[in-house]
Amino acid sequence: MKQFINMFVLVLILSICNNYLYAQDVYGHLREGWLQKAQQTQPPLIETVKQPVTLVNMQKDTTAFQHWKAVNHLPVDSLYKRSFKSQSGVIADFGEHLTGYFTFSLAEAGSVPDAPVRIRFTFGEVPAELTTPFDPYPGALSRGWLQDEIVTVSDIPATITIPRRVAFRYVKMELVNSNVYPDFRISNISFTATTSVKAMPDTLTASAGKMIAAIDKAGLTTLKECMQTVYEDGPKRDRRLWIGDLYLESLANMYSFRNYDLTKHCLYLIAGLSYKDGVAASNIFERPTPHPQVNPLFDYALIYNVAVKEYVQATGDKQTATDLWPLIRRQLDIPKKYIQPDGMLDYERANKEWWLFFDWRSGLDKQAALQGVVIWAYKNTYELAKMIGKQNEVSDLPALINKLSSAAHKNLYDAATGVFISGKDKQVSYASQAWMVLSGVASKAEGAKALSKLAVMDNVVYPGAPYLYHYVIEAMITCGMNKEAKTLLVDYWGGMINKGADTFWEVYDPKDDFLSPYNFFPINSYCHAWSCTPVYFIRKYPQIFQGQ
Amino acid sequence: MKQFINMFVLVLILSICNNYLYAQDVYGHLREGWLQKAQQTQPPLIETVKQPVTLVNMQKDTTAFQHWKAVNHLPVDSLYKRSFKSQSGVIADFGEHLTGYFTFSLAEAGSVPDAPVRIRFTFGEVPAELTTPFDPYPGALSRGWLQDEIVTVSDIPATITIPRRVAFRYVKMELVNSNVYPDFRISNISFTATTSVKAMPDTLTASAGKMIAAIDKAGLTTLKECMQTVYEDGPKRDRRLWIGDLYLESLANMYSFRNYDLTKHCLYLIAGLSYKDGVAASNIFERPTPHPQVNPLFDYALIYNVAVKEYVQATGDKQTATDLWPLIRRQLDIPKKYIQPDGMLDYERANKEWWLFFDWRSGLDKQAALQGVVIWAYKNTYELAKMIGKQNEVSDLPALINKLSSAAHKNLYDAATGVFISGKDKQVSYASQAWMVLSGVASKAEGAKALSKLAVMDNVVYPGAPYLYHYVIEAMITCGMNKEAKTLLVDYWGGMINKGADTFWEVYDPKDDFLSPYNFFPINSYCHAWSCTPVYFIRKYPQIFQGQ
């Protein structure tokens, strides 16, 4: 079973960084303007009222994902017409993943109810969330993320909207009163779904094939559901704007919804809430008022620059990049103090002073990935600088890129085995190969050889979450490994499709349906931004991803 | 242990009466006018914002009521200043019984909370409600009456008012999340208390004595808390206007708050919502719109007339009685079809066709009480008729009263033992003696003898709830048993005071703190209208109730 970075490590990181906001405020004067622009570009949410499509039974089935599957049971009318007491525990299926606000109506069933009634609504993205007891709660994240709400209704008839926003497909309704009397009915349920997506993109051509089309569809739904007033990481959890998710979502958006306003809004929001030392905020809470989590993340800060570059390339909106340029330049500084005379970054020190992410995978050595992401970000930022006429301000970059790249090749490429190694223990991982390819340290041939070699080597560290799979597939395409890229995408995301996914999951291990970085699989997010990336691949490279 | 009428009997009665509303609508044209008057006289609620006075620990103590007592622990500020995680389970004491709406604020404690937090608030009128697990719920009434609310707060800071109205003195606050992170604070709690009482009455003179003053104070609080937009039976449960409670509350109000507008409003409301055959609605739900429970109750229908008479006598408002006269006349008809040629009511038939209440006491034979309440109501209604010049319309009453009284004395008075008996088994009960006295069937001397005899007889059926204690004490005073009346009042209500009551309880058995008609003592109402009656006695008869 895979191991993940424990959340307690994050607590530690948080406490290390606690004083971050109190550092010298270099970018204060700019931040205010960026935040204003973010406010001006807040996208409107589009609301759609949805009805349940059927009542379902959850059936135990060890061949189904997490051993439970939803089976059509009764039409929805049978919920509304019959007394609720006789149906307590009923599950309604809205037929698709939705994010927003749940409304229910209660009515008399014969005579006047004499007492408050209490109903527990449990919202689930996947069937097992409806069948797995939440308590006693063994998870590592807040129990509050689990979507069960007990509502007391003092008077019937009543129509009540649960104030909490939920993300779900299935809702279970249970009478908490053991013996309410007289009986009553749930006379209606509905859902006000929200997203900032305005229109669906063109469907794929028939040549894509069934599985590719299914993957694309689930990816689009995942992305649409995460596209609210920011690019959320997951509408169930954590509902936050993270740079890492933003980057993948904005790539997928480019080839699907083309809602560039949302990307622009998020880029300004992150800039406007950047830390006082000018490091781009790794993640943003929108509510109650927009604010950053004080949790600086090395690789995400650099990815911010690449996200801006991709946005400008897609839209031609140079004004935004020019506005944001001081922040972009600041991110370039982050790695500099770690560059040693030999051109290698001081990984030990960086790892001590920063949160380095790259993947949810405990034991992953990140030396190679760190070297790679810096080179890759420098290259992309230099391209961006050229687009907006700022290359003079970053004229040191080309030499730096060369220095870092040469050092990486010299120190990290193991010519004997043909793979890139990382750290003292010369660890071999997908992460290292991917970042050595994306940074251009590996030649196309070296990259292809290295990536191919992994499948037959022992002790290779595999990706832990879909986020890293994105970079691996991108690396494969970079090396011309189109067939392998397609196979990996179809195997991995198609695996979720075969297990009934209509949105893609935060974590997915083909061999372990119950895997959770948080020690309790129902708290996993089953509609997670960083898993939407097939939309980008399938629609950017239709010639690769077809016929399956 | 005492036995009570099972709620399932009520269900049966309800189903028998289910078609009641569909009988011929005789009073439709009048009902509309009465309802309009009720709407015009809706009393305003007075809101007062209250703060907690201290944090308490609940300590196990087998000498305390229900084995728990609240012990002052820490000042309230310590709740607000410290992280909540370290205080989960903390209990705040508002220092008095309050009814209304609870508001709390959450704030950061160091850094930004990353997840929704869930807090369970449990509101209790007495200490043991805060320490007794509610689940698995063994009670016979709806679990929904128990005042625990789990609130999910998605974003901090937040200020939230729980929508449900609660009645309580103590509130327990528990973190439902097992490991929320980062921590947060409850930065404020407050309570918007409501009542329609405008001003407190004069305090008692010093001659009343300490215990009488304490009983009076708790009675006033009980009454004030029940006086909302109607005379409620209990602000925690069932929050309904019942004729039986209205009658006792309006009596107590006459000698304390003198808020006659509320009495008038309730009299019109009951008339406006009387059943289609003109029987006064035994009880009214105010919400979502005012409506009666279809649950006709013989003795309550007759007590309605007496409540009107007392109101007119206290206020001189003959116009209201004249308005309501058609309904008052209609109640007189209810007993008529049960009057047999010998002047005895057909108890068996009435008991089959109606709910006869008189007391929560299973096994109580109600023949004598039934005969008594009819005579008593006829006498009071005839007095009322004379006040408003309607005696010609009820000219049959004096003869009926004589006939019923003679028959009662002949058939129910057991000269050998000197007590009144009831039913085939010649049951001897407090209820029977009280109603024979109040109806005037018993002479003053017979009544005094009978009531005195009970204490030394075997197999006497004692009162089950404070409601009947009222009629017993009233009967004692009627018979000149002032000393015994005072002793009973001080013993019974003083018993609650000695056990820490600051409001009087729905049920109280000096020998059993855990007694519940609903099989679970936390669901009992601990601020119950029909227990406020000492206010009436103490303030109406100050010469009797003093020096204790």
- Give the residue from chain A lying closest to B160, CA to CA: A163
Query: Rounded to whole angstroms, how far apart are CA atoms B340 and A289?
Result: 77
Mean pLDDT of A347-357: 98
Across A89-103, A135-149, B465-479, least confident range: A135-149
Note whether residue A10 is domain-resident. Answer: no
Query: Rounded to whole angstroms, how far apart are CA atoms A56 and A283?
Result: 37
Answer yes or no: do A233 and A135 share one domain. Answer: no
What's the mean pLDDT when you consider all of chain B?
A: 93
Which domain-ending residue is among A195, A216, A247? A195
Mean pLDDT of A399-427: 98
Note whether residue A6 is domain-resident. Answer: no
Of residues B239 and B14, the one with the higher pLDDT is B239
pLDDT band (50, 70, 90) for residue B181: low
Distance from CA of B317 to the nearest CA of A (A): 33
Note whether residue A148 is domain-resident. Answer: yes
pLDDT > 90 fraction of chain B, expressed in percent and rounded: 86
| Chain-chain contact of B117 with A142 (C-beta, under 8 angstroms) | yes
Nearest CB to A142 within list B139, B179, B288: B179
pLDDT in tens, A511-542: 999 999 899 999 999 999 999 999 999 999 99
Residues of A in contact with B154 (CB under 8 A): 164-165, 287
> Is it the case that residue B7 has pLDDT exceeding 60?
no
Nearest CB to A158 within list B116, B153, B288: B288
Q: Which residues contact A99 (CB under 8 A, 6 or more apart)?
A: A165, A166, A167, A193, A194, A195, A225, A228, A235, A527
| Residue whose token pair is 């005071």 | B497
What is the predicted pLDDT for the residue at A211?
Answer: 97
- Can you give the pTM of this predicted structure? 0.90
Which domain-ending residue is among A149, A167, A195? A195
What is the predicted pLDDT for the residue at B179?
Answer: 65
| Chain-chain contact of A142 with B115 (C-beta, under 8 angstroms) | yes
Distance from CA of B116 to the nearest CA of A (A): 5
Answer yes or no: do A91 and A160 share one domain. Answer: yes
Does residue A136 have a cis peptide bond before it, meaning omega lies within 30 degrees of 0?
yes
pLDDT in tens, B149-168: 999 999 899 999 999 999 99
Answer yes or no: do A131 and A37 share one domain. Answer: no
Note whether residue A139 is domain-resident. Answer: yes
Nearest CB to A293 within list B7, B112, B117: B112
Nearest CB to A152 within list B144, B285, B291: B144
Scan residues 168-227 of B and list those with Cβ closer than 8 Å to A.
Answer: 176-182
Mean pLDDT of B75-95: 95
- Give the residue from chain A lying closest to B14, CA to CA: A111
> Is it the case that residue A19 has pLDDT exceeding 50?
no
pLDDT band (50, 70, 90) for residue A297: very high
Answer yes or no: do A280 and A222 share one domain. Answer: yes
Which domain-ending residue is among A180, A195, A210? A195
> Is it the case that residue A449 has pLDDT exceeding 90?
yes
Mean pLDDT of A272-295: 94
Nearest CB to A180 within list B136, B142, B165: B142
Note whether residue A65 is domain-resident. Answer: yes
Q: CA nearest A127: which of A76, A176, A89, A93? A: A93
CATH number at residue A80: 2.60.120.260
Query: Rounded to whole angstroms, how far apart are CA atoms B118 and B180?
Result: 9
What is the predicted pLDDT for the residue at A24?
Answer: 58
What is the predicted pLDDT for the residue at B10?
Answer: 40
CATH number at residue A269: 1.50.10.10
CB A321, CB A391: distance < 8 Å: no
Mean pLDDT of B488-508: 97
The SS3 of residue A378 is helix
- Give the residue from chain B lying closest to A159, CA to CA: B288
Note whether residue B187 is domain-resident. Answer: yes
pLDDT in tens, A378-408: 999 999 999 999 999 999 999 999 999 999 9
Taking the Cβ of residue A149 and every Cβ of chain B, the question of whether any pair is shorter than 8 Å is answered with yes
What's the mean pLDDT when you consider all of chain A?
A: 93
| Domain hosting residue A374, numbered range | 26-45+197-516+530-540
Residues of A in contact with B293 (CB under 8 A): 111-112, 114
Chain A and chain B share a number of CB contacts under 8 A equal to 131
| Residue whose token pair is 């939309």 | A535
pLDDT in tens, B109-132: 877 788 899 999 999 999 999 999
| Chain-chain contact of B111 with A18 (C-beta, under 8 angstroms) | yes
Distance from CA of B117 to the nearest CA of A (A): 5
The count of domains in chain B is 1
- Give the residue from chain B lying closest to A181, CA to CA: B142
Mean pLDDT of A286-291: 91
Query: Rounded to whole angstroms, how far apart are CA atoms A160 and B288?
Result: 13
What is the predicted pLDDT for the residue at A485?
Answer: 98
Note whether residue B321 is domain-resident. Answer: no
Answer yes or no: do A388 and A495 share one domain. Answer: yes
Nearest CB to A14 within list B14, B111, B287: B111
Answer yes or no: do A214 and A303 share one domain. Answer: yes
Answer yes or no: do A118 and A216 share one domain. Answer: no
pLDDT band (50, 70, 90) for residue A288: confident
| Chain-chain contact of A154 with B177 (C-beta, under 8 angstroms) | no
Answer yes or no: do A330 and A293 share one domain. Answer: yes
pLDDT in tens, B383-405: 999 999 999 999 999 999 999 99
pLDDT in tens, A490-506: 999 999 999 999 999 99
Buried b (16+ CB within 10 A) or exposed e, A412-439: bbeeeeebbbbbeeebbbbbbbbbbbbb
Taking the Cβ of residue A542 and every Cβ of chain B, the question of whether any pair is shorter than 8 Å is answered with no
Answer yes or no: do A270 and A127 share one domain. Answer: no
pLDDT in tens, A88-127: 999 999 999 999 999 999 998 877 788 899 999 999 999 9
The SS3 of residue B124 is strand
| Chain-chain contact of A118 with B156 (C-beta, under 8 angstroms) | no
CB B306, CB B263: distance < 8 Å: no
Residues of B in contact with A165 (CB under 8 A): 154
pLDDT band (50, 70, 90) for residue A178: low
> Is it the case that residue A6 has pLDDT exceeding 70?
no
CB B125, CB B97: distance < 8 Å: yes
Answer yes or no: do A30 and A101 share one domain. Answer: no
Encoding tokens for residue A26?
A: 């270099």
Taking the Cβ of residue B293 and every Cβ of chain A, the question of whether any pair is shorter than 8 Å is answered with yes
Residues of B in contact with A11 (CB under 8 A): 181-182
Taking the Cβ of residue B154 and every Cβ of chain A, the question of whether any pair is shorter than 8 Å is answered with yes
pLDDT > 90 fraction of chain A, expressed in percent and rounded: 86
Answer yes or no: do A177 and A299 share one domain. Answer: no
Note whether residue A391 is domain-resident. Answer: yes
Taking the Cβ of residue A115 and every Cβ of chain B, the question of whether any pair is shorter than 8 Å is answered with yes
Give the DSSP letter string of A211-266: HHHHHHHHHHHHHHHHBSSSB-S-TTTT--EEHHHHHHHHHHHHTTT--HHHHHHH
